[in-house]
Homo-oligomer: A and B are copies of this chain.
């Protein structure tokens, strides 16, 4: 139900063998891109992702390595034939930054810009069917947000109860999607009468460019996948990490160990970190579910079997 592809795993600048960090997430029919540095459209093409299928773009912050691929991506989406609007969400300033970056861009579709606010704390970005996208401020040199995408799941349908209530079978599907359904004689049936308690859905978290912080740690709890930054492998770089407002692998691992997401992918590696593999065994000692991100790393998350 939720397909995730990590498009790149680099920070600061694209390298010849490492794209900048961004992720494509397909949730039901909605295509979501998080961040878009230089080359992200090429990384997406390499993963056979139709760029024109991107409906929502979430921008963590306005450092060039997270947004400067946007003009090219939008142009390619137009060239690929997109005509439906695209919604872009990002920090305050989005309404001046994006038009400037896109000064040479003319598109056959509408781009709708939406501003996130740091003082709103954990906030709902948008809801699309059963998907809820939330944003939360993290701790970087400039305003920066993490995102959590949650696909909710209704309770189990009880066919015996539906029969007892004489609900026509053709309305059963509707009651699993909506709160009510109306019969041919005008009778209104309530989903709450035939569904069990809401079941556990699927949730994915994405957060780069931050120091460890409570908001992020809390948002990671219960996630099926947390994509978080590990800018520096070695804990000896902790001072440099603090200075630049990033995290070392151990800092990320200790936070994950407290929050306990089912899986963790580290990403956003510094160009000064050519072999992140070197540091993996140590952080897997801290939290075994940690893996390293790479371009094209993907995961298909399904609802758990009942």
Contacts and interface: CB of A to CB of B under 8 A. Distances in A.
Contacts of A41: 13-14, 38
A298 interface: no
A62 B16 contact: no
B67 A68 contact: no
Contacts of A271: 79
A69 B38 contact: yes
Interface string A219-241: 00000000000000000000000
A46 interface: yes
A273 interface: no
B16 A46 contact: yes
Given A12-B79, A45-B16, A105 B72 contact: no
A104 B38 CA distance: 13
Question: Contact size class for A?
Answer: 20 to 34
B75 A64 contact: yes
A103 B99 CA distance: 10
Given A38-B38, A69-B38, A104 B64 contact: yes
A63 interface: yes
- Number of this chain's copies in the assembly equals 2
Interface string A183-202: 00000000000000000000
B13 A63 contact: no
Nearest to A74: B64
Contacts of A45: 15-16
Given A38-B69, A39-B39, A39-B42, A104 B62 contact: yes
A76 B97 CA distance: 20
Interface of A: 12-16, 37-39, 41-42, 45-46, 62-65, 67-69, 71-72, 75-76, 79, 96-97, 100-101, 103-105, 271
**3 cross-chain pairs, A with B, having the tightest CB-CB distances, nearest first:** A38-B72, A100-B103, A100-B100
Given A14-B72, A68-B72, 19 more contacts: A12-B79, A13-B76, A14-B39, A15-B45, A37-B72, A38-B38, A38-B39, A38-B41, A38-B71, A38-B72, A64-B71, A64-B75, A64-B105, A65-B72, A68-B68, A68-B104, A100-B103, A101-B101, A101-B104
